[in-house]
Amino acid sequence: MPYRAVIIGAGAIGSRLDAPEGSACGTRLTHAGGYRAHPAFTLEAIADADETSGRMESARWGTPFFGDPARMLADVQPDVVSICAPTAKHEELAALAIKSSARAIVCEKPLGPDLASSRRIASMAEAWGGVFLVNYTRRFVPFYASLARRIRDGEELVQNVTVKYAKGVSHNGSHALDLSRFLFGEPLEVLALGRTSDFWEADPTVSAFMRFERCPQFFLQGQDERAFTFFEYDIVTREARYQVNEDGFTLNRYGIRHSPHYRCDSLGISGREDTGHGQAILNLLDHLRELLEANGRDAPPPRCGVRDALRAQEIAHELATQTPTGGRA
């Protein structure tokens, strides 16, 4: 039988960015879209504090609406709970879900509104013993998973990485920080260079220089969300260059070629392809099904559990609280 899922929070990533029938290009970006498309799950109900928008989303997805998440958990008795409400509510909702019938929780990032809250959530989750995943989606993009293996196995040696992002180092920047730990290991040096408050005053967008175990030069470049949203990840190895742009959906590959102009080896574009980012939520649900079916017996480690999410937030906090060496933007 399919696992019965509910969603708390009918915002953009909870449900609004998808249509129930799917998109023409086949992408699924939301928790609701993932549960609707994946054969191992069914979407049973949606809860939201905003009754007007919550009822609209529930009607659009053809599910019951609840204004009270505790009532929904008691009435529906779900197997899986997605927490997509504002970050300030994550701790309260995680505690509710842990006490419910749920065997698994999928929580949006960041884990909590601050480090103290995130540490309490992590402690609750570990004491609970169920499956607790945090939706750092890029860990579930096939291109990144393949590249992580090649870098880890020494097949490719990283020279440098440049990341451009906006909308807060904890909220959007932590995507880059979590992905970089996934690809390159732990950070060895963290140096804030500048910052701007482009969306949340309490969550600055920080520019920084960093070093990781398998990346000697990492440049985090903050953009301004007030101009446009932006996320670009550019990796240069000794063997190739990988430029991920268009909000993470497009990969430009560059290979080594002989330059006819300078008569030496250079880089030239060798291909352009879809990263698979539009299927990341379905890949996460594949992973969740594997964890649930293992039921503790030889289960693989969660690809993005509470400790991974907490570590990304710790790095973001260090960047946000450092005095920038380059001055305030």
For residue 185, being part of any structural domain is answered with yes
122 shares a domain with 85: yes
Say whether pLDDT at 328 is over 90.
Answer: no
Take residue 202 and report the two structure tokens written for it.
């309490």
Residues 58 and 262: their CA atoms lie apart, in Å, by 61
Is 301 within the bounds of a domain?
A: no
Q: Are residues 173 and 317 in the same domain?
A: yes
pLDDT greater than 60 at residue 326: no
130 assigned to some structural domain = yes
Looking at the structure, tell me whether residues 129 and 156 fall in a common domain.
no
3-state per-residue secondary structure call for 35-49: HHHCCCEEEEEEECC
Say how far apart CA 163 and CA 225 lie, in whole Å.
15
For residue 298, being part of any structural domain is answered with no
Does 329 have pLDDT greater than 50? no
> In this structure, how many other beta carbons lie within 10 angstroms of the beta carbon of residue 298?
6
Query: How many separate domains does the chain show?
Result: 2
* Mean pLDDT lowest among 61-65, 88-92, 297-301, 317-321: 297-301
**Is 302 within a domain?**
no
Q: What is the average pLDDT across 131-157?
A: 97
Q: Are strands 104-107 and 131-134 parallel, antiparallel or unpaired?
A: parallel
User: Residue 245: is its pLDDT beyond 50?
Assistant: yes
Q: In terms of residue numbers, what domain contains 26?
A: 3-136+280-293
Residue 281 DSSP SS3: helix
Same-domain status, 108 and 207 = no
Same domain, yes or no, for 241 and 157?
Answer: yes
> Would you say the pTM of this structure is higher than 0.85?
yes
So what's the pLDDT on residue 155?
A: 97
Domain assignment present for 113: yes
The answer to whether residues 214 and 151 belong to one domain is: yes
The answer to the question of residue 266 being in a domain is: yes
Percent of the chain with pLDDT over 70: 98
Task: State whether 172 and 317 are in the same domain.
Answer: yes
Same domain, 9 and 124: yes
Residue 200 to residues 134, 225, 229: CA-CA distances in angstroms? Answer: 22, 10, 14
In a domain, 270, yes or no: yes
Q: Which CATH number goes with the domain that contains 127?
A: 3.40.50.720
- What CATH number is attached to the domain comprising 230? 3.30.360.10
